[in-house]
Amino acid sequence: MYRTVSIVASIIVLFLWTSASAENGKSTIVKFCGGPKGLSYEKLPNALKPIVEGFNLGFTLEAVETKGGDENVEKVAKGECDFGIAPNKLVNKRKLPIDGVVFHSYAHLVCNQERTKGAKEISDLLKQGRKIQVAVGDIGSASKIVWDSLVDLDDDFGPKNFSTMPLGFTKAIPLVMNGQYDCAWTVSGIGSPAMKAADYPDSSKILRLVEVNDGDFNDDDYKFFVIKKATYPNLQAGWFKDVKTIDIPVVLFHRKEIQTQNPVAYGAVSGEALRVGPGLFKE
């Protein structure tokens, strides 16, 4: 179970900060690993920076640009960053301390209906009599990390049945539309800009949002989630039911030493991240 940092506790930490810190004269730098410039993972450290600096607690928050969750975990594990965000499975794998869930992301699998013979569920892709070509996201991205973790849970979705390409969803969708790839995969919030771009009127003639509902995917780190019908009017066109997929929590985590080395900075950043994060990533 995740440790919940209460807002009350954070406020107490702030009030316990004394003038002794001001006497030190120098500002400590606390590093927060975010993500690629312009993408969702970058939002949180950039939003936190002016908030915590406004507290005047003797530290400066530095947003560190990274490739995403995989690099965030590596940098925090090495002590190169104090905080980071990443899919919970990746953080648990490295046994790093988790503060709580910042936001929820969901698996979206969009397939060319002609090439995949009208596939409605991910298991239908195993019945094609050939390898399915799927763009699973850039190397180091949350999308590729999650796909690789599903292969670990059920090797039917590994190399014997799928050829995967490390290509981002936005770039992959036109290739799926014209039949060069079978499917494109992304892990994102409901109604993300990438999904909205794929859900345009003419897409219903070719593309479908396919259920990611294999029972082997339901482990301690992932739960199932239902994307309500008409959430994506075109990608779900012709459906008379909701679309089942997996919920991938994205969590705030930290290097263990910061709790004792700089408890005030730890309490302020952790508390504020869990306070503002859910609203920042609201669907």
Q: Would you place residue 220 in the very low, low, confident or very high pLDDT band (cuts 50, 70, 90)?
A: confident
Looking at residue 157, its pLDDT comes to 96
pLDDT of residue 17: 41
pLDDT of 283 reads 56
> pLDDT band for position 7 (50/70/90)?
very low
What secondary structure does DSSP assign to 217-247, as a single string? G-SSS-EEEEE-TTSSTTTTTT-SS-EEEEE
| CA proximity to 188, closest of 105, 103, 88 | 105
* Contacts (Cβ under 8 Å, ≥6 apart) of 5: 99, 100, 267, 270, 271, 274
Give me the pLDDT at residue 32, please: 98
Interval 31-51 mean pLDDT? 91
pLDDT at res. 3: 46
Please report how the helices 142-153 and 69-78 are oriented relative to each other, as an axis angle in degrees rounded to 10: 90
Residue 219: CB atoms within 10 A of its CB come to 13
Return all residues near 54 (Cβ < 8 A) that are at least 6 apart.
none
- Of 35-44, 49-58, 134-143, the poorest mean pLDDT is in 35-44
* Residue 12: pLDDT over 90: no
Domains of the chain are 7-103+252-280 (3.40.190.10), 104-248 (3.40.190.10)
Mean pLDDT of the chain: 88
Q: Is the pLDDT of residue 280 over 90?
A: no
pLDDT band at 68 (very low <50, low <70, confident <90, very high): confident
- Say whether pLDDT at 55 is over 90: yes
pLDDT in tens, 107-160: 999 999 999 999 999 999 999 999 999 999 988 788 998 999 999 999 999 999
3-class DSSP state of 201: helix
The yes-or-no verdict on residue 187 having pLDDT over 70 is yes
Token pair of 190 as six digits: 């409901």
**pLDDT grade for 238, boundaries at 50, 70 and 90:** confident
